A = this chain, B = another copy of it.
Amino acid sequence: MTAYAVFLAPIAAAAALLFALLEAVKIKNADPGTEAMQEIASAIRTGAKAYLKRQYKSVAIFFAVVFVLLFLLAQAGYLSIFVPFAFLTGGFFSALAGFIGMTVSTKAGSLTAQAAQESLNRGLRIAFASGTVMGMVVVGLGLLDLSFWYFFLNWYYTNVQPVSASLRVEYIASTMLNFGIGASSMALFARVGGGIFTKAADVGADLVGKVEAGIPEDDARNPAVIADNVGDNVGDVAGMGADLYESFIGAIVATIALAVGAGLELAGVILPLAMAGLGVFASILGTFVVKTKEDACQKALLGALRRGTALSSLLVAASSYFLITNLLGGQLGIYFAVLVGILAGVGIGFSTEYYTSSTYKPTRDLACTAQSGTAPVVISGISVGMRSTFLPILIISAAVLASFLLAGGAANFRLGLYGIGISAVGMLSTLGITLATDAYGPVADNAGGNAQMAGLPPSVRERTDALDALGNTTAATGKGFAIGSAALTSLTLIAAYRDHILLLAQRYQLPLELDLGILNPKVLIGLFIGGMLPYLFSSLIMSSVGRAAEKMVLEVRRQFKEIPGLLEGTAKPDYATCVDISTRSSLREMVLPSVIAVVVPIGTGLILGSEGVMGMLAGCTVCGFLLAIMMANAGGAWDNAKKYVEEGHLGGTGSPVHKATVVGDTVGDPFKDAAGPALNILIKLVSIVSVVFASLILLHSLL
């Protein structure tokens, strides 16, 4: 069976990329709309390309430096020689996925607006097709990268440097564990940079355009409007894609690494790859049921998307039963762990929706507190965010315990850890379609902007608004999914790190006794330092957003003052300068948080040793998860409380209640779109950095 299953991943990778191509062609052939619409779309595309080009240039320098560093480490014997190269391929494929996804999504905005002129369903299909391209490219390129390396390493340790079968499995697993570093580094730039970009543009556009100049949202006269629309793609498409690409890669390689210690041999190594392959096919099939009647209501739209993800989940649940029973024989517990992971993903998504959607009590109550003023709505929003950690924590806790015990962890500890890993893989297996429903949102958002700027009839704007509102719901679910999968991936990486350290100690013939007890002061201090990291990291990012937004505000004000006829609509604003400000700021501002995310784990390790590192990883995961949920949900609740008021409740737009909710939403912007999501990256990145520098720390730590 392993002989066949091993080909599932590469075949699925090819299928995903082919399907992405088909969807991209569908988009390309869609009606491009009026000239005005095309012009706007082209401005956004140009802005996005300019950003990506500059970002990739900076990233290239970073990758070159780190490649040299890793190469030297490898030469000195601290790393497998393949790691520096895998670092490059991982980063390259992640960047490529981001590039393709953004190219398509910036194109699809205007096409969706045009399609929405015909019917809601047409609009949905185009926007969702764009999301599907992003989803499929992410899983396709991810699996392509991993499959390539798996086959290459297998060939290498069979032909070039032949070793025994069991040692081969061990070498492959421990080498591949390091392969998350490329995707992680790229994700950091995409998420952190993207977050700063989009929020600087958003705040600048809103504060000066909406509040000071009194022009509507997405108005073509606003100099920052293109930067704002570019930002939606940069942050929510490329950033989210890179985030989940990293989780996808991280969960698979960590589970592969855990297979050896769990005594599952080759079958255990192949299972996560094959599961991910099954997920691709399930996702592709799922996309076919995402359609609705020509002019359905919003509920039907949501139903269509839900149907797609539900079908995919069911397909994975059913097919993985056969895969696991065939690969692992009687290990039905592992199968149940997969089910646990799938259910946990659904559960966290739902809890996010509950706390942030205005159809439920928390957000409605939040809107009501705005009646007492600005400070109360800010306090209550933070309070909602804090309370919203309760359910996700219970879900993740239950998932960890259940997958550990179901996999047989009571009898075989390391098999239990493998169970946790495979449940993360299960959660992420349907990433193709989950990401599609998520990356669909910014396209619908851009479609609305396009319709507004191009002056399409109000009926079109109504339809794009319906699509956009749906996008907000899927974005909330998607954010929950991203955080939940990041936490589970990070835990799997920590477990894999422990196995890795033990293996390395064995190789170096070091007498290593790991005391990971929480009362070991090194572990305890690690917990404290790791717990502090998310706070420091978030603080830096929020300050960065503040500084970047200030620059944007000054520029927009300058243009309104210095360009005659701009507010009257007789002159055009200078969009490019605003895009440039966001780009420059985001690239400069992401340096310090990035350095901290890399230096702290290495520094902690060099002082406190591997035990301190493990404590730090656990502390960072727990505190990062909590803070990320708090920020994402507080931000989401504020956003939707504002929208709820704008729908005409509690006084409607322009009322004092509305003004209070606008302040809440502005506070929430860097929470939910910059600092919060960046924490997903942080908790995975510190783990993966620790893995790569494990040998160095093991051999040279101070204590």
Residues of A within 8 A of B (CB): 207, 369, 372-376, 378-380, 382-387, 389-390, 393-394, 396-397, 400-401, 404-405, 409, 416-417, 420, 491, 494-495, 498, 515-519, 521-525, 527-529, 531-532, 535-536, 538-540, 542-543, 545-546, 549-550, 553, 614-615, 618-619, 622-623, 625-626, 630, 663, 666-667, 670
* A670: chain B residues within 8 A (beta carbon): 379
| A417 close to B535 (CB less than 8 A) | no
| B389 close to A536 (CB less than 8 A) | yes
| B376 close to A378 (CB less than 8 A) | no
| B400 close to A524 (CB less than 8 A) | yes
| A524 close to B491 (CB less than 8 A) | yes
Identify which of B546, B626, B666 contacts A383 (C-beta below 8 A): B546
Minimal Cβ-Cβ distance residue in B for A419: B521
* A387: chain B residues within 8 A (beta carbon): 535-536, 539-540
| A393 close to B491 (CB less than 8 A) | no
Q: In whole Å, how far is A109's beta carbon from the nearest beta carbon of chain B?
A: 28
| A383 close to B539 (CB less than 8 A) | yes
| B379 close to A667 (CB less than 8 A) | yes
* A378: chain B residues within 8 A (beta carbon): 378, 663, 667
Which 6 pairs between the two chains have the least Cβ-Cβ distance? A375-B666, A386-B539, A516-B517, A387-B539, A393-B532, A386-B535
Identify which of B495, B515, B527, B550 contacts A622 (C-beta below 8 A): B527
* A667: chain B residues within 8 A (beta carbon): 375, 378-379
* A394: chain B residues within 8 A (beta carbon): 529
* A540: chain B residues within 8 A (beta carbon): 387
Q: In whole Å, how far is A244's beta carbon from the nearest beta carbon of chain B?
A: 22
How far is B542's CA from A384's CA once the two chains are assembled, in angstroms?
10
Q: In whole Å, how far is A409's beta carbon from the nearest beta carbon of chain B?
A: 7
| A380 close to B543 (CB less than 8 A) | yes
How far is B369's CA from A686's CA once the two chains are assembled, in angstroms?
32
How far is B524's CA from A614's CA once the two chains are assembled, in angstroms?
12
| A525 close to B626 (CB less than 8 A) | no
Beyond contacts A379-B666, A532-B626: 13 other A-B pairs, Cβ-Cβ < 8 A, are A369-B546, A372-B546, A375-B666, A378-B667, A379-B542, A382-B542, A383-B538, A383-B542, A383-B546, A386-B539, A401-B521, A494-B519, A495-B519
* A383: chain B residues within 8 A (beta carbon): 538-539, 542-543, 546
How far is B311's CA from A658's CA once the two chains are assembled, in angstroms?
56
* A417: chain B residues within 8 A (beta carbon): 519
| A518 close to B518 (CB less than 8 A) | yes
- Give me 16 A-to-B residue pairs in the complex whose CB atoms sit less than 8 angstroms apart, sorted by A's number: A375-B666, A379-B666, A382-B542, A384-B539, A386-B536, A386-B542, A387-B540, A389-B535, A393-B529, A405-B521, A420-B521, A516-B518, A528-B622, A528-B625, A531-B626, A532-B626
* A376: chain B residues within 8 A (beta carbon): 546, 549
Most buried by B among A389, A522, A615, A630: A389
Identify which of B384, B529, B615, B663 contacts A518 (C-beta below 8 A): B615
| A400 close to B531 (CB less than 8 A) | no
* A375: chain B residues within 8 A (beta carbon): 663, 666-667
| B390 close to A622 (CB less than 8 A) | no
Minimal Cβ-Cβ distance residue in B for A391: B532
Identify which of B382, B519, B528, B538 contacts A386 (C-beta below 8 A): B538
Minimal Cβ-Cβ distance residue in B for A495: B519
* A619: chain B residues within 8 A (beta carbon): 622
* A626: chain B residues within 8 A (beta carbon): 531-532, 535, 623
How far is B383's CA from A540's CA once the two chains are assembled, in angstroms?
7
Q: In whole Å, how far is A386's beta carbon from the nearest beta carbon of chain B?
A: 4
Q: In whole Å, how far is A475's beta carbon from the nearest beta carbon of chain B?
A: 21
* A550: chain B residues within 8 A (beta carbon): 372
| B663 close to A528 (CB less than 8 A) | no
Minimal Cβ-Cβ distance residue in B for A487: B528
Minimal Cβ-Cβ distance residue in B for A397: B525
* A615: chain B residues within 8 A (beta carbon): 518
